[in-house]
Chain A
Amino acid sequence: MKGHKDNREFIAALEKTGDAVRIRQEVDWDMEAGAIVRRVCETKAPAPVMEKIKDYPGFRFMGAPLASYRRLAVSLGMDPRTRLPQIAEEYLKRTNSAPIAPVLVKKKDAPVKQNILLGDDADLCKLPAPLVHEGDGGRYIGTWHAVITKDPETESVNWGMYRQMMFDSKTMSGAVFPFSDLGKIFYEKYAPRGVAMPFATVIGPPPLAAVAACAPSPIPEPELTGMLMGEPIELVKCETCDLEVPAHAEIVIEGVILPDVRVEEGPFGEYTGYRTSPRENRITFYVKAITYRNDPIMTISNMGVPTDEGQLLRSFSLGLELDKLLRSQGIPITGVYMPPDSTHHVMIVGVKPRYSGIAQQIGQLAFGSKLGPWFHMVIVVDDTIDIYNWNEVFHALCTRCHPANDIHIHKNSVGTALNPYASAHERRYSMGSKVVFDCLWPPDWDPVNEVPTLVSFRTVYPKEIQEKVLANWSAYGFPAET
């Protein structure tokens, strides 16, 4: 299978499966577009492609590109009806395969170079950055994008999705957390040396490049994109710095992150379903060039109450990256699932409970890993529970988790500025707390005399009786089951 090389191919595929809608009437970038995308997320509607934007002839929007498992399946070249466990299996298969390095193409072969604005001409107000929600601290240019940077010593490249607000025609501010890959390099290797850090923001990246940019994987994102696509991604050199960007991206903004200037960023509607993180002086991006395709399509993610792609996709990749991590440590897990409606705060881990303390071991690995800042609850259940079935998980939580013995609180952990439950002080300093809910039967209980028996149709009737009842179900007079 080959991945969609750009959003145009992706949109065409989504239209075929009924997962995109083209809006031909004019839409205002000032809140109307945001409101459409928000309602799409809350009603689980198809992705909107807006063909005509007020004040910006020629520009287009695509909203909520990956806010459903159907669209995620299509982005991976799969049938939109594929069930989540199969999509997950495919992601694991591809991301466990050999890395696929990107290839460099000439500028003349890169559609993103069709229009080039340099220096004073590179004015952010020439792009239809939307005011996504009323009351937001600014128009957000980067909501479904990748910020590309390089480590000056190792030359290793990072693509990360870190939100970017337009401050004025030439500057953007961003919420780059200190524990993110970009944050670590900037605060360690640029800011203290007073050196400006080149960046390139890619808006409307190919769909699987966006997946890679928000996946918490240790594999460098250009290679990860190739693995997800099943072929190398084509990159092209930047105009003003020594970075490379996807040749089939819609829009690229190039410039430098200033080591000694901070402008205000936020507030902004966030994936938790609130506006939580404080307005603060944050990392500041100064713009030197803008390049874009003809009829460019700006991508918009609108974060708020479920379900947006921040929740859906991050839950998907956080869960599966934890799956890989736990298996790499030899933990006998059966799977990991993070429900998007938890706003990526709750990990459900299925395990074969072979020894004592296994739930705590899982919690410690999860919270202690690179994934840890982004969630704070781990629910550990045994292999009789279907981790994808919330009714079963909730039943286990409500019945097997001893309030005094099985809830393990981890204090003084890494948190994020976005946690609605955290105090203002905790948010400012990324301070977090975590909790493990151990829903396993204690390993020292006698399985015959101490472990309760689950009372369900499946578990307390002989097979013959179950089959007889099922076979006679309509004959008894019950309506047919779907």
Chain B
Amino acid sequence: MNLWEVYVNSLADLPQDVELTLSIRTLNEGKYKYTYSRVAAKVSPDLDRYPDRLQVRFGRGQLSDKKFSIEILGEKQIVPEKYAWGEADIEFLARSM
């Protein structure tokens, strides 16, 4: 089971069982802890409903005592492909050698 965390202004931002777009961060230990993914997901206050666990913080960092279960339906790409490392970068490197 993975543990995730999300920031919301209010618990009303987390309606149950409908597809939501959320920026969630992993709380799994290790070098990638606290990195975000933008995902399509469903959540529920019923902790047994979905496979992973989600905890919630509010806008100034306060931890909510309400916990949720979460299912990640898919990941959304944040940075368009055109910015990825590519030929222009390799050419720049070659020129500056």
Q: Is the CB of B85 within 8 A of A258?
A: no
Nearest Cβ on chain A to B9's Cβ, whole angstroms: 9
A147 to chain B: closest CB distance in Å? Answer: 18
Complex Cα distance A360/B79, Å? 49
Give B26-49 interface residues, CB cut-off 8 Å to A.
Answer: 30-38
Q: Does B53 belong to the interface (CB within 8 Å)?
A: no
The chain A residue sitting closest to B31, CB to CB, is: A125
B residues within 8 A CB of A136?
A: 61
B31 touches A134 (CB 8 A): no
Report B-chain residues with C-beta under 8 Å of the C-beta of A196. Answer: 83
Q: Is the CB of A169 within 8 A of B35?
A: yes
Which one of A118, A261, A263 contacts B80 once the chains associate, using CB atoms below 8 Å?
A261
- Nearest residue (CB) in B for A121 is B85
Taking CB atoms, residues of chain B closer than 8 Å to A260 are 80
Are A125's CB and B93's CB within 8 A? no
Set of chain B residues within 8 Å of A240, measured between Cβ atoms: 89, 92-93
Q: Give the contacts of A153-171 with B (CB-CB under 8 A).
A: 166-171
Size bracket of the A interface:
35 or more
**Interface 1/0 per residue, A272-299 and B, CB below 8 Å:** 0001101100001010100000000000
Contact in complex: B79, A261 (CB < 8 Å): yes
Q: Tell me if A267 and B36 are in contact (CB < 8 A).
A: no
B36 interface neighbour in A55, A119, A134, A263, Cβ under 8 Å? A263
- Asked if A327 CB lies within 8 Å of chain B CBs, one says no
Q: Which residue in chain A gives the minimum CB-CB distance to B96?
A: A237
- Within residues 331 to 346 of chain A, which ones have a CB less than 8 A from any CB in chain B? none
* From B34, B83, B93, contact of A139 by CB (8 A): B34
Neighbour of A135 across the interface among B32, B36, B63, B92, CB < 8 A: B63
In the complex formed, the residue of A with least CB distance to B83 is A286
CB distance from B22 to the nearest CB of A (A): 11
Question: In the complex, which residue of chain B has the Cβ closest to the Cβ of A131?
Answer: B34
| Minimum Cβ distance to chain B for residue A119 (Å) | 4
Residues of B near A56 (CB, < 8 A) are 31
Interface residues of A (CB under 8 A from B): 30, 55-56, 118-120, 125-126, 131, 133-139, 166-171, 196, 237, 239-241, 256, 258, 260-261, 263-264, 267, 275-276, 278-279, 284, 286, 288
5 nearest A-B residue pairs (beta carbon):
A135-B61, A119-B85, A168-B35, A125-B31, A275-B60
Residues of chain B having any CB pair with chain A under 8 Å: 7, 23, 25, 30-38, 57, 59-63, 78-80, 83, 85, 89, 92-93, 96
- 5 cross-chain CB contacts under 8 A: A135-B63, A138-B34, A168-B78, A171-B79, A264-B7
